[in-house]
């Protein structure tokens, strides 16, 4: 397993549409485990493969709730319901945060790491994270959707 380099704001790959994963082989599984390790290193809630420079429709999410991180391949939002105003950041936009409107609930269909179809009904933070990461797969970043005037830069705290 390895920590991957996170692509940051201004990197044109973040604007590209990711491609479907045709075959889940050892390289894809290794990429997913690297993504989880990278997300954890930077204390992220989610990470899309494009953020580590791979244009594949893969996302990982960890709400740090004691459950295994989600590993989703070719995820698609098939249903969205309601709205929630949320504050969001992104590992590709270090120390930047903005408010935006996300669905309050989503239903996502995807493949798991074994190629089995899964359906996830999500609310609140998980719905927000799924919408955010799936947007990445379509070349959309959170600042595209922010409520105007809400973008903030937070100075990183000094490591002691």
With CA atoms as reference, report the closest residue to 115 among 27, 29, 19, 1.
Answer: 29
Output the six-digit token pair for 119. 């359906």
d(CA 24, CA 22) in angstroms, rounded, equals 7
pTM (two decimals): 0.95
The 10s digit of each residue's pLDDT in 108-153 is 999 999 999 999 999 999 999 999 999 999 999 999 999 999 999 9
Q: Which domain holds residue 24?
A: 12-153
What is the per-residue pLDDT across 45-97, written as a single tens digit (0 to 9) for each?
Answer: 999 999 999 999 999 999 999 999 999 999 999 999 999 999 999 999 999 99
Indicate the number of domains in the chain. Answer: 1
In a domain, 32, yes or no: yes
pLDDT value, residue 156:
81
* Edge-first strand listing for the sheet containing 46-48: 46-48, 58-61, 70-81, 105-111, 117-123
Please indicate whether residue 133 is annotated as part of the active site.
yes
Inside any domain, residue 87: yes
Q: Does a structural domain hold residue 3?
A: no
Q: Which of 61, 66, 14 is nearest to 40 (CA)?
A: 61
Nearest to 21 by CA among 32, 37, 11: 32
**CATH number for the domain that contains residue 63:** 3.90.45.10
In terms of Cα–Cα distance, which of 135, 140, 133 is closest to 15? 140
| H, E, C per residue of 56-115 | ECEEEECCCCCCCCEEEEEEEEEEEECCEEEEEEECCEEEEEEEEEECCEEEEEEECCCC
Q: Confirm whether 1 is domain-assigned.
A: no
From the list 33, 68, 133, 159, the catalytic residue is: 133
Query: Do residues 146 and 97 touch, judged by C-beta distance below 8 A?
Result: no
């Amino acid at each position: 397993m390895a920590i991957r380099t996170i692509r940051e704001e201004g990197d044109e790959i973040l604007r590209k549409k990711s491609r479907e994963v045709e075959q889940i082989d050892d390289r894809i599984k290794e990429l997913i485990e690297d993504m989880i390790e990278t997300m954890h290193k930077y204390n992220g809630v989610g990470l899309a493969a494009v953020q580590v420079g791979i244009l594949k429709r893969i996302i990982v999410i960890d709400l740090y709730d004691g459950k295994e991180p989600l590993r989703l391949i070719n995820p698609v939002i098939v249903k969205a319901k309601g709205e929630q105003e949320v504050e969001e950041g992104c590992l590709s936009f270090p120390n930047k945060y903005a408010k935006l409107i996300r669905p309050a609930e989503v239903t996502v269909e995807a493949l798991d790491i074994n190629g089995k179809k899964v359906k996830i009904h999500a609310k609140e933070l998980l719905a927000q994270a799924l919408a955010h990461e799936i947007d990445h797969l379509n070349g959309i970043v959170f600042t595209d959707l922010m409520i105007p005037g809400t973008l903030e830069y937070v100075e990183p705290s000094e490591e002691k």
